[in-house]
Amino acid sequence: MLRRCVPWLVALAAALHAASYLGHGPCDDDYITYRYARNLVEGHGLVFNPGERVEGFSAPGWMLAVAGALKLGLEPALFSVAVSIAAAGLTSWFVARLWLRRHERDVWAFPAWLVAASPALAWHSIIGLGTVLLAALVAWAFDAWDRSLRDHKASTTAALAFGLAALVRNEAILLALPYVASELRRKRWTAAALALAPLAAWQAFRLSYYGRLVPITYSVKKLALADDLALGLEYVRAASGSSGLLVGLALGLVALARVARHPSAPLRGACVGAVTFTGYVIYVGGDFMPHARFLVPIFPLVAWIGSEGLLALGPPRLLCWAAALAALAWNQVGQGLRSELRAVHEDSERRWEAMGRELALRVAPDTKVALAPIGAFGWVSRLPIVDLLGLTNTAIANAAPDPEITIKGHTRYDADWVLAQRPEIIVIGNGWVHPSADGSRTLVASAWEKTLVTHPRFQSEYLPLQMEISGSYPLIFYWRRDLERPSWARDV
């Protein structure tokens, strides 16, 4: 009886753990997805600014899901959080089902509890971007693959799950390739084709619609190989410090060597896929977001293969339990970031929503605004955006990266291009005004704005003003001097 209930219990625990992070998101990049989806639904095309065909999102399947939600009249932020919390529960459920099927004498399905207890998985359930949905699809794919082989049936369900995963985020195809190779060896052409079809279809669309092989988000973030490798290795090291990623991968390799002379195809595929995926994350240099966003999709696989490797070592049962409890405790290191991450969200997305809401009430709908945090501001305001960091234009990617900036994805800027767009408003310093010791507030330009604020044209053509923000402190912004001064603004 307990054995049958465990998958449901662990799924509930994972969902509740994710829900405990409510109020931490969604993140600004998720709002970028919302705006693309809204423009698609409203007939403007897959664009951030109508008329500008730039693929400024890196999770096409997630964007299409949000578009479907908008078409149904759902609020995208609510949809994002609800689907991701459910996906957290499903991820643990699939891992539990996979483990209990492979270990008929086990009752507790420890790897699934390890997944449910992951602060990274729980936090990203609220942040959005389809990260946890991807983890659920990956767990579903390997569970379905294992089940089909044990039932001696074609694994069409696994093919569907792998295909959808690669559509949600294209790099997930690396996790599907071992499955595709296995199906091709068995001459199951349909299953192999089904796993590849969604990504192939999207790539064909990408080339025809955007004229690029990869989204601009990839190009603007990519650095020199040596720089990205250094950043990527540090990213994986930091992720391992809180999640035990490298330990799990190492134990997975032990499982390959010791579980059997010929380990099952799903176990082999999970090990190869997880190692390859980790290598890809190192190659691209990781990410700037906390809790290892790029690696979260393989956490369920690492928990599974790491547990298989631990059992393959054959330690005494008591030592196994000690290792399991140690892994759970180690995994909770990230819980210490809770208050800090919530405060960051309140100071960031909530602030940017308020900025967008207030400006939209005061300016014409064709007023062009240049700023870096384009997501929540752009979603709420609907105003045309000049993206200082180049996630939604093709110009910034052509600029040389600034070696002094260490924040991934924030290393390129082009003040000349920004000023050439002649935005009516420029917001610097992310719209933040930092409190000083004497009680006053100071506007501090971000590192990627240093050439903009010192540019002669900026200094001569733009006037600093400020406006009240309901529920927040005033916004300091720069207004183009050749325009009539707004009556609702006051001097700084």
Asked if 365 and 249 sit in the same domain, the reply is no
pTM, two decimal places: 0.93
Closest CA to 135 of 191, 85, 198: 85
**DSSP H helical ranges for 222-316:** 225-243, 245-258, 265-284, 299-312
Backbone Cα Rg of the chain? 24
* Rounded Cα distance, 195 and 179, in Å: 9
Distances in whole angstroms, Cα of residue 270 to Cα of each of 152, 175, 306, 308, 385: 19, 7, 11, 11, 42
**Burial class for 204, CB neighbours closer than 10 Å (0-12, 13-18, 19+):** exposed
pLDDT of residue 342: 92
Q: Are 353 and 248 part of one and the same domain?
A: no
For residues 390 and 318, state if they share a domain: no
Number of domains within the chain = 2
Place of tokens 């610097």: 428
Is 231 in the same domain as 284?
yes
- Same domain, yes or no: 290 and 437: no
Q: Are residues 283 and 398 in the same domain?
A: no
Q: Are residues 394 and 315 in the same domain?
A: no
Does a structural domain hold residue 461?
A: yes
Regions of the chain with pLDDT less than 70: 1, 259-263, 437-441
Choose among 292, 319, 333: nearest CA to 135.
292
- What is the pLDDT at residue 439? 65
- Is residue 341, in this structure, part of any structural domain at all? no
In a domain, 163, yes or no: yes
Which residues are CB-neighbours of 13 under 8 A, at least 6 positions away? Answer: 92, 113, 116, 117
pLDDT of residue 220: 92
Nearest Cα residue to 428 out of 397, 384, 464: 464
Q: What pLDDT score was predicted for residue 263?
A: 60
For 342-417, strand residue ranges (E) read: 369-371, 385-387
Residue 206 lies in a domain: yes
Q: Are 316 and 257 contained in the same domain? A: yes
Q: Considering the domain boundaries, does residue 32 fall inside one?
A: yes
Looking at the fold, whether 353 and 332 belong to one and the same domain comes out as no
CA dihedral angle for residue 78, residue 83, residue 85, residue 88, rounded to 10 degrees: -160
User: What phi, psi does 487 have (nearest 5°)?
Assistant: -70, -20
Residue 459 lies in a domain: yes
Cα(421)–Cα(400) distance, rounded to whole angstroms?
Answer: 20
Residue-level pLDDT at 68: 96
pLDDT at 260: 56
* pLDDT at position 327: 79
Q: For position 259, what pLDDT does the model report?
A: 62
Asked, for residue 342, whether it belongs to a domain, the answer is: no
Where does residue 51 fall: left (phi above 0), alpha (psi -120 to 50 degrees), or beta otherwise? Answer: left
Rounded distance between C-alpha atoms, residue 170 and residue 167, angstroms: 6
Picking from 310, 336, 362, the residue at the C-terminal end of a domain is 336
Q: Say which residues have a Cβ less than 8 Å from residue 295's Cβ, sequence separation at least 6.
A: 120, 236, 239, 243, 245, 277, 278, 281
Last residue of a domain, one of 314, 336, 358: 336
Among positive and negative, which fits the CA dihedral 80, 86, 92, 94? Answer: negative
Based on the domain organization, do 98 and 26 belong to the same domain? yes
Does residue 74 form part of some domain? yes
| Pairing of the two strands 434-435 and 425-426 | unpaired
Question: Does residue 352 sit in the same domain as residue 316?
Answer: no
E strand map for 124-208: none
Are 255 and 389 in a shared domain? no
Instruction: Tell me the residue range of the domain where 411 lies.
Output: 348-491
Domain boundary (336, 369, 388) is at: 336
Residue 328 neighbours by CB under 8 Å, 6+ apart: 113, 114, 117
Cβ atoms of 236 and 299 within 8 Å: the answer is: no
